[in-house]
Structure formats: structure tokens, C-alpha cells
Chain A
Amino acid sequence: MNQKHQEDLSHIRSMMERSSRFISLSGLSGVFSGLSALIGGLYAYQLFKANGIEYFDKNNKVYSIDLLLELFFIAIIVLFSALTFGIFFTIRKSRKYNLPIWTTATKKMLLNLAIPLIVGGVFCLALLFYKIYFLIAPATLLFYGLALINAEKYTFSDIKYLGFCELILGCISLFYVGYGLVFWIIGFGILHILYGLLLFKKYK
């Protein structure tokens, strides 16, 4: 009898969780997205060197259009592969555990994630427009951190800690102008990999 009641309770808990949170998010998504960012960032650094620009040298920073286009191209590839890995491992996990993906909780999570991200995107476009390039890296980290904290209610609540780390990093980077690439590599590369590994271990 007691066994049945215990099972009833765990059934209730799992139904509440499954219906209100997006729990298919895989730790591997984080690890591989982080790796894409890390490789992209290091490649960008190499690219600067190959073009005769020492990234950390403050006086020598005139970028040719070709270099800017190439950097932009790298950014797009990183974004695309990070999203692809993210979606791929999430679908794989949901298949494995037989979880429905496209639920109300998923839609709410994406909406809550999207609001700060879209505003952040517009903000960065404005920075580009006014040629305030040095604030772009901090702004991306800050808005991303806010997006994670905003989406926390609808997925694993641990993502808020990743959000806080991104915010702290973003705030620090505001005062270390000229090291944007480094902060990007830490924020989008290393933090994602660490967080992904933690999540993977915890919810395996």
C-alpha cells in the first residue's frame, strides 16, 4: 500500500514538472554550443594575427572591410552550429525519454528567452549603427544573461546561475574595453561547456 502511495506522489510530481517546464534541454547541447563558440573565437584571434593585427595591442586597430566580413561570417557559422547542436541534442534527449517537445511550457520558455534577446539584438544593431563597437561584447553578454534568468521559470531552474555568471562577466567586460573577444570566449564558450557538463551529470 505504502509503495503505491509513494508512486502516486512521484507520478504527481513528475506530471507537474513535465507539464510546466521544458525539461528536454540536454547538457550536451551546452557543451557543443560552447565548443563552437570556443573554436570560433580562437579562429577569429588567429585571423587577426594572420592579418597582421595584434588583438591586444590598443594602437593598431584599423580593420579592413574584408576582415570585418570574414569575422561576421565566422559569427554566423558559430551561431548556426551552436543552434544546430543545441536543437539536435535536445531532440535526441526528448526521444530517448519519450518527452513531448512542442508543449505550452516550451513555447513559454522560448518566448521568455526571446524577449531580452531580441531587444539585445536591436540594441547591438544600434551600437553598430553609431559605431560604438567596444560595447557590443558586453551588451551581448548582459542581454543573454537576462534572457536566461527570464526563461528560468519554464525550464531547469539551474540556468539562472549561468545567467548570473553571464551578467557578472558582462559587467566586468564593460570596464575592460578592447578585450571583447576574450570575454566572448569565456562567456559563450567556456561557461557553456562547464554548465553543459554540470547539467549533463546532474540530469543524466
Chain B
Amino acid sequence: MGIIDKLNKDFESRVRLGIMSILMVNDWVDFTEMKTLLFITDGNLASHSTALEKAEYIEVKKEFVGKKPKTSYRVTNKGRAAFNEHLNSLEKLIKSNN
């Protein structure tokens, strides 16, 4: 096994990687913008963001702007650390294979 098992299972999907990457370089990002940046459907984003929220990697804020509900996401400290670690293992993996 070695390094392989260090790769975080929560980040296996491209959508989750995308959500994390976007949140690493931005503060609060709302649902609509996240969806357009990733080219995914509402349902897809909702299910992946819920999974990341359960892992406590992101926090979700729900508020009303006028009468419209607005959902925004932000990365937590735990999520930031986990994602950085994931990046490091990815990098190591690629280096060791080359």
C-alpha cells in the first residue's frame, strides 16, 4: 500500500476536488457561481457538497437575499489541512512514479 492509502477518499471525485480547489482560493462562494464554475447540475453539487459538509471540510451558510434563499460555501480549517495533505500525497505519488 504505502503512499496510496494516504490519498483522501473524500476527494476521489472530480466534483469534490473542484469544490475544494475553488474554496481554497476564494472566501464564501455561492451555489449558483459554484455550479457555473464546475459545469454541473444542482443535484450533483448538492450531493457532493453535503458529503464534504458531513466530513466537516466545508461549512454551509443559508440565508435569504430578499425573498430568494441563497446558499454559500466556505472551506473549514480542517478541510484546508486535509486538502493540502491530499495535494502533497498526489505530488509524492507522481514523483515516485516518474
Contacts and interface: CB of A to CB of B under 8 A. Distances in A.
Interface of A: 1-2, 5-6, 8-9, 11-13, 15-16, 18-20, 98, 100, 103-104
A19 B37 contact: yes
Contacts of B20: 12
B94 A16 contact: no
Contacts of B97: 1-2
Contacts of A6: 94
Nearest to A108: B26
Interface size class of B (residues with CB under 8 A): 20 to 34
B32 to A, nearest CB: 10
A8 B26 contact: no
Contacts of A1: 97
Given A5-B90, A19-B37, A100-B37, A12 B29 contact: no
29 contacts: A1-B97, A2-B93, A5-B93, A9-B90, A9-B94, A11-B14, A11-B21, A12-B18, A12-B20, A12-B21, A12-B87, A13-B21, A15-B17, A15-B18, A15-B21, A15-B22, A15-B37, A15-B38, A16-B22, A19-B25, A19-B26, A19-B37, A20-B25, A100-B33, A100-B37, A103-B33, A103-B36, A103-B37, A104-B33
Contact of B29 (A13, A16, A19, A100): A19
B24 interface: yes
Interface of B: 14, 17-18, 20-22, 24-26, 29, 33, 36-39, 87, 90-91, 93-94, 97-98
Contacts of A13: 21
A12 B17 contact: yes
Contacts of A19: 21-22, 25-26, 29, 37
Contacts of A104: 26, 29, 33
A11 B16 CA distance: 11
